[in-house]
Amino acid sequence: QVQLVQSGAEVKKPGASVKVSCKASGYMFTDYTMHWVRQAPGQRLEWMGWINVGSGNTKYSQNFQGRVTITRDTSASTTFMELDSLTSEDKAVYYCARGRSGWQLDCWGQGTLVIVSS
Amino acid sequence: DIQMTQSPSTLSGSVGDRVTITCRASQSINSWLAWYQQKPGRAPRLLIYVASSLESGVPSRFSGSGSGTEFTLTISSLQPDDFATYYCQQYSIYPWTFGQGTKVEVK
């Protein structure tokens, strides 16, 4: 079955970077896009960007001011989301989500908690 | 950014109730709208896409309607498993945005 398994929780200091991974299984990895969405405590979901896994093309939300980078390793069926210059406002659960050809997000990872604390 | 506003923010219901959640977009998104269900500590689950298409495996008591700027999610007969938070999401214009959520709780 389709499964997205994310890396474990991270604790980072302000100003640092975090890199979260998302390993896919159960489908043709390069046939879909992969999106990243985050959710701060008690807040709505926030879309961060996507990568076309086949081509490597990316699209990011301008709300992250160039701090987010999404990459993939097709040999490992894994995508990565790196967020730079962390502040306390980046404390959130980060999700990867598969995008179908119609762009709906049909399968989500279990989430990765990122805590930013000095 | 397109603002997505859901109403109500909280909805109290009983098993068997028909419940409706509304989602309004700050500008037209045609039918590029999805609905998700999220339970505490869990990832969102896709229920509806392109405003009214039921995702595979989702019970038929869930339905979606609307286009342009106003959309609804209806649960025809609320079941114990349906108590959760529901989010709408537009994927018409970048950046994609979500509503603030509607918590469906036990009356």
**Confidence (pLDDT) at A101:** 84
**Model confidence at A54: pLDDT above 90:** yes
pLDDT tens across B4-59, in order? 999 999 999 999 999 999 999 999 999 999 999 999 999 999 999 999 999 999 99
Q: Are A63 and B1 a contacting pair at CB < 8 A?
A: yes
B98 closest CB neighbour out of A44, A62, A108: A44
Q: If you ran DSSP here, which 8-state letter would residue B96 be given?
A: P
Element containing residue B22 per DSSP (H, E) = strand B19-25
- Closest B-chain CA to A6: B43
Half-sphere exposure of A92 (CA within 13 A, CB side): 21
- The SS3 call for residue B27 is coil
For A30: left if phi > 0, alpha if psi spans -120 to 50, otherwise beta; the answer is alpha
**Model confidence at A102: pLDDT above 80:** no
Is B34 in CB contact (< 8 Å) with chain A?
A: yes
pLDDT tens across A6-51, in order? 999 999 999 999 999 999 999 999 999 999 999 999 899 999 999 9
Starting at the edge strand found earlier in the chain, the sheet holding B70-75 runs: B4-7, B19-25, B70-75, B62-67
Residues paired with residue A35 on neighbouring β-strands, in sequence order: A50, A97
Q: Are A44 and B34 a contacting pair at CB < 8 A?
A: no
Contacts of B34 in chain A (CB under 8 A): 104-105
Q: How far apart are CA B49 and CA B88, in angstroms?
A: 10
**Confidence (pLDDT) at A103:** 87
A59 closest CB neighbour out of B32, B87, B94: B94
